Amino acid sequence: MHCLVRSLGCPLLFVFALAGCGSSAPRHADAGGEAMVAAADPLAVEAGLEILRAGGSATDAAIAVALTLGLVEPESSGVGGGGFLVHYRAADAAIDAFDGREWAPAGATPGMFLDERGEPLAWELAQASGRSIGTPGLVPMLKLAHDTHGRLPWARLVQPAIRLAEEGFIVGPRLARSLATWREAVAADPQARAIYLDGEGKPWPQGHRLRNPAYAATLRAIAVDGPRALTQGPIADAIVAAARREPRAGTLALDDLAAYAPRRLDPICAPFRVYRVCSMPSPSSANAMLSILGLYARVRPAPNGPDDVDDWAAYLWASRLSYVDRDHYMADDRFVAAPTSALLAPDYLDQRAALVDLAGSRAAIPVGAPAGEALRARWGSAAMQEKGTTHLSVVDADGNAVALTSTIESEYGAQRMAGGFWLNNQLTDFSFEPLIGGKPVANAVAPRKAPRSSMSPAIVTDRDGRLVLVTGSMGGSTIIASVSRSIIGVLDWGLTPQQALATPAMFARTPRIEVERGRMPGATIDALRGRGWDVVEGELYSGTHMIQVTPDGLRGGADPRLEGVAARVSIPDD
């Protein structure tokens, strides 16, 4: 039986060693013929369920969901972007990770986001530009995952999205609001105008049946040629043309598209209570999410739940300490020395936890030195804001699981389309300034380098390697906070996934602490302010989707801030 720390009185022990996420533990339990998909749109969830009913694996279903999300929530994700996928194999409890993060083109330069005076470009100018477009990595990564863990033919997985793109789907309130808000950006792209605006230039309203034949044509090419459809031929030419279009033309070339290579990696794992949490290694900064969990567990050995201000104070401290280190050190470790494992070492977390005073606050959080003073002194620190993204969670009837987070970065990415999909502005996740205080920034731009990411798809297992949770979120750099809060909500506070996702969002990356307006009780806010924290209420957002494996079957949760669902299906035995 899985151990829920608070409700079952389990010992609060750290029982797993860092790294080494593969396990030879036998599979003791599975989903009992149940399968589940949790994602940001019901149409995408149904696409995943269709594939599961057809005998597909969790990976197969995740691919169908991701390609459908690129149609029905085009502002957040799609084949013009990238993503990370973490996979759990029930037969032997092995976990692996797939890196589909975009790369900067070979022509990228450290100062590409500086203006003629050497000052950082305004965010809006950097986003809506060819300079922000990285090599799309989602489809190559999905194909690599399918080659490793797929069951149905690749072309079958593309069919639900093709059908929906041709027949059309009903515009929901989220997309209608987004199109209205970003009407000028949509109108600025000729292809987007034809898809999302009517003859008078007005965005299609809620209830309109929207078709995207260009996207259907792209998906048909992907069904036949896989990633090659986006690296050579007319779609690749359109991608490059969009990136090189003025104003602020980029340097993306066909050679960049051909050179891109997704990676299969070992995940980064760390203990939380009696559990093990695994997520993406570099270029993700998911180690910050794991650090929050490790620090929180040290500071709150006996948590009381979301009504206890000490629990929130501990979470606030853990977030501040983890984000400071993340912003200073983390970057693509193919290019820089990123101390990913050192930041999660038990002795280092003990040192950082010793700084915590739950009764007080600290505006200036020092950067730690997990790998020595020389590495700390090498880098200048930069805190960049990120946005956008989508997340989906899948468990199949055999107990295999996928946590997949994908993104085109900001809403509508670089605000340029090709082949019926939006291109990413992922390169704005690099530091705009290559030097800060005379020191190089770890996350500075370099040719073929991947920008740092906050995407933190996570798989949680128990001490025997049995699947416990599948989770992840959208929300830019708030992803780290959303994912860690969802895990604490279920495993520490004894909440259901749906209850955990409804807890108030808290974002403590900077000295100004943001809490979600309308969800955090006023008494809790006042208590934190009384301890010296600069707490403000804001419109924090997330898109966390979670599946929990329990002795009674699968239990899902969909973020109440979006329109998603968590739905299950029973798969009959052969």
Q: Which residues form the catalytic set?
A: 389
Task: Please give the biggest Cα pair distance in the chain.
Answer: 67
Is 11 exposed, middle or buried, given 0-12, 13-18 or 19+ CB atoms closer than 10 A? exposed
State residue 269 phi and psi, 5-degree precision.
-130, 150
**What is d(CA 177, CA 188) in angstroms, rounded to the nearest whole number?**
18
| Contact residues for 4 (Cβ-Cβ < 8 A; gap 6+) | 10, 490, 491, 494
Which of 556, 552, 559, 458 has its CA nearest to residue 567? 556
Specify whether the CB–CB gap between 459 and 467 falls below 8 A. yes
- CA 442 to CA 430: how far, in whole Å? 9
Which residue type sits at 106? A
Strands 534-538 vs 512-516: parallel, antiparallel or unpaired: parallel
What count of Cα atoms within 13 Å lies in the side-chain half-sphere of residue 450?
A: 27
CA angle 454, 456, 457 (to 5 degrees): 150
Helical segments of 368-415, H only: 373-378
Please identify which residue in the block is written with the tokens 């080494």.
Answer: 20
- Cα(258)–Cα(164) distance, integer angstroms: 29
552: left (phi over 0), alpha (psi -120 to 50) or beta: alpha
Residue 365 gets which letter from DSSP?
P
Cis peptide bond N-terminal to 203, omega within 30: no
For residues 417 and 182, give the distance between their C-alpha atoms in angstroms, rounded to a whole number: 14
